Every structure is written in C-alpha cells, then in structure tokens.
Structure 1
Amino acid sequence: MLEISNLNVHYTATHAIRGVDMSIAENEVVCLLGPNGAGKSSLLRSISQLVPYEGTIEFDGETIDNRPPAFLSRVGLIHVPEGRHVFPTLSVHENLQIGAHARGSRPALYSYDDVYDLFPALTRMRKRQGFALSGGEQQMVALGRALVAAPRLLLLDEPSLGLAPSVVATVYRALSEIAGRTTILVVEQNTSDALALARRGYVLAEGRVVMNGESSALTDRKAVLASYLGQTDIDVGDVGEDRLPPMTEK
C-alpha cells in the first residue's frame, strides 16, 4: 500500500528526515514512535505532499511524488494532522459532510451512522458548532470526518495528544474497531496504546529509523525503546524472549 525509499527532508539548515525507508501493507496498522523533534510529523507531511522532499513515495504501486494533496484525498490517502483542525463555524454533522466531499466518487467505507456508533458522544452534538466542542470532541469529529472520506490509507498524527485518559480510550477503541478494514499509519508518543493497536512499529530519532519490527518485539525491548524515546516510565507489558519475532536495530 505504501512504499517509501530513501526519504530526506530539509528545512533550511535542518535535515529533518535522513534516508528513511518504510513500507506498509494493505490493511496493516503501523505505528511511528519517537521523541519530540524526531521528524515524525515531517514524515507524514511528506507522504501527503505538504513539504518538499528527496526520495520516492509510492502509494498503491504508483509514484505520488509532486502530486497535489487534493488528488491524494481523492484516491484515499487521508491525513488527520496534529491539532484536529475542525471547521469552527460548521456543525459536527457538517464537518463530517466535508469528508464525504473529499471522498469524491469513490464508494463509502464508513457511513455517518458508523461514525456516530464509533463515537456515541457526538450523536447528541450533531448540530453543535466546532468552536463549541472540547478538544476530545474535536478529535472525534476529525477522525470521523476522515473515515467518511473513505480512507485507503489513514495517516494519524498524535491522535491522543492533550486528551483526557477517558477520551484516549474512546479514540483507541474506535481505531481498534477499524483496524483490519483500513490501513493506518499512526504517529504517537503514547507508546503503550500505539504498540497495542499496531502490528509493526518504527522508531525515529534525529530523522533516522533506529529500530523497527513487530510490536511485540518492540514491547519486549522496552528498556531500549525508552532510551530512544527519552522516557523512563514506559510500561508496555512483557513478551517471552522465546516468542519474539525478528526485529531490526540500526
């Protein structure tokens, strides 16, 4: 579904992404972990053609280098950026309808009712304007709008950032329900939830992939993972060493 080869991103004197290779299969969920400033958001913006880059990005077997973002949404590459970005003067339901517009003529994968089933709290807020929503409610709307757009590849940038634990649980419960039906690349600092959702993970540090492998393998190596992420309190469970799938460290 997605193939990235030797990706490099520069911002003036900053080399934000350094020779990244990455692949995601259809209906696979992959997480991208890393500390602040590692280049995670830059990588998503590169895929969405929002920043210039060097290297090659293929989506569904076709090179998408220099394709306009509007074209990408029409073919099912849907990006939910950090910060939610709901339309403040539109109602919840009108925000969802924007997703249907982005879908164009492609068949729907998720209906409005599907979104309200995933996020029941939005049902009673259908007519509430975006500016009157809490941060958690805005995140639900942003995700729902993306689903209505019929994503073939869903790019999620920090979906749990700044949310209360109960809302994070709601968001990840919804993502677990669509996993297997939708290909997802999720950028997260919420390591536990990301690794529980994803089948595989990549760890980015200073713009480079420093670890990658099956989520269970990354989970087992939590001390190494914590050293890259600059965290000392990671609790992502334990997997017996004899059950570890292959993992690469670079």
Structure 2
Amino acid sequence: MSDPRPGDLLCVRALTAGYGASPVLFGVDLAVPAGGALALMGRNGMGKTTTVRAVMGLLPAGGGIVFDGMEVRGLKPHRMARLGIGLVPEGRQIFPTLTVEENLVATAAPARPGLAPWTLERVYGLFPRLAERRRHYGNAISGGEQQMLAIGRALMTNPRLLILDEATEGLAPLIRAEIWAVLAVLKGEGLSLLVIDKHVSALAQLCDGVAVMEKGRVVHAGPAAAFAADAALAARLLGV
C-alpha cells in the first residue's frame, strides 16, 4: 500500500469492505487533492456507495484511509465529520419533520481556523430558494430543494472535504444546472470534492480527475476531461 502523495487531502489505498459475508470492495485506490475535485463513476452496483460508506466509517473496512495525513480507518462517522468530512448521502436523508432551518441548524459545527465559516446566512446566499422555504418542513419541499438542503446541511458542518453520493440523481435539468454551478463555486473557494454522478460532461467541467469502478475495483483513473473526450472508453466502462 503506497503512501499518500503530497497535496492529497484524502487518500484511500487497498480499501476492502462488504456486507456480512458478502465482499463488495476488492482493493480500491483513489485520492482527492486538497482544493481539487474527483469524480467517482461506474455502473449501478459497482461499489461507489459502499466506498463512501467505508470512508465515512459506516462500514468496517480494510486497507488504508488517510485524511489530512492521519490514518482514519476505523473511526466512527461522527469522528469523521468532526475531522472535516461532510457527506451528502444518496437519497438526501433530510429530517422530514424538521423545518428547512432546523435541518440546517441541527448539524452546525464550529468554524475551522483559516476557513470562512458556514452560517445560515451564507447557505441561504448560496441557495436563495432555501431562504424562501426556511419555515417549511423537510417533507413539504421539492426533491430539488431537498438536495439543496442536504448540501447546505453538510456545509453547516464546516467541512474541508464534501462527498456527494449521486449529486444530481432524479433532478430536473434546471435544478441540476444550479447544483453544478454551486459545486463550481465551492471548488473555487477551495473546498475539496468527491462527487458520484452519472453526467460525464458536467463532471468533466467540475472535476480534475476521475476514478471509474467496476465490480468493486477502480479500473480506470485519470484526468476527467480526457475521459469525457474518449467516448468509446466512457461507453465501455459506463454503458449498460
């Protein structure tokens, strides 16, 4: 297992994980540079969400998970969050009986030294629609608004790395475009991103690199723009 490269905020090496007696990951390697963005892609069922769950401490895992130079494999999810990893989970998982504002406040954490703090006002500036819905309950807003809320909730933890599992799944094109624009703003402010999504062209515009998974392994890693430009490669690795 190789050491993290200089400049990597998150480094995953030889990661193994599964559910009970059923292994899913077979030595996953990937890295997210500080201030950069990595796209994690693959067909359904290839291990992307399992990788995220293992990184976040939601599953027992083997191998190495290094965050900001510290080995963190085996830490509980709340410890990972305190270290500075924010998760936007697949399915959003917002609190349906709390208001938009209560959802945001529920996860708020202290600001990190040297970084601009995430506050209600800053999240509302990023997503004005949430400000308009601040008194609505989580189950009374649209799917797109719920995704905005899930991102805002993760930002309120004041992360250094934001992980998005299915960043724009099931969203209307206009909402997808708004989400991609917001992620570009966040990256421009220096926030590191690990993004799972199916939209190759949008990911290529946002991300520096891509890692493509197949049957629990990373089978391709390289520049995101080059991957998007190789239609045959993308079709072979992502087509159904």
1:224 paired to 2:233: yes
Please, which moves more after superposition, 108-117 or 68-77?
108-117
**Residue equivalent to 1:207:** 216
1:116 paired to 2:124: yes
1:183 corresponds to which letter in structure 2? S
1:83 paired to 2:83: no
1:174 corresponds to which letter in structure 2? V
Q: Is the 8 A contact 1:130 1:138 kept in 2?
A: yes
2:187 corresponds to which letter in structure 1? A
> How many residue pairs were aligned?
229
Task: Name the SS for the 2:117 alignment partner.
Answer: coil
Q: Distance in 2 between matches of 1:92 and 1:162?
A: 20
Among 198, 201, 209, the alignment partner of 2:207 is 198
Task: Name the SS for the 1:216 alignment partner.
Answer: helix
1:212 corresponds to which letter in structure 2? A
Please, which moves more after superposition, 108-117 or 185-194?
108-117
Closer, same or farther: CA 98–106 of 1 in aligned 2, 3 Å: farther
- 1:110 shift after superposition: 2.3
Q: Distance in 1 between matches of 2:93 and 2:53?
A: 15
- 1:104 shift after superposition: 4.1
1:16 paired to 2:21: no
Among 63, 74, 77, the alignment partner of 1:69 is 77
- 1:111 shift after superposition: 2.3
- The equivalences for 1:134-213 within 5 A come to 134-180=142-188, 181-213=190-222
**What runs of 5+ residues in structure 2 fail to find an aligned partner?**
1-8
CA deviation map 1:94-125 (0-9, x unaligned): 1111231xx24645532222211221211211
Among 29, 38, 42, the alignment partner of 2:37 is 29
Q: Distance in 2 between matches of 1:229 and 1:223?
A: 10
**What runs of 5+ residues in structure 1 fail to find an aligned partner?**
232-250
Q: Distance in 2 between matches of 1:109 and 1:179?
A: 15
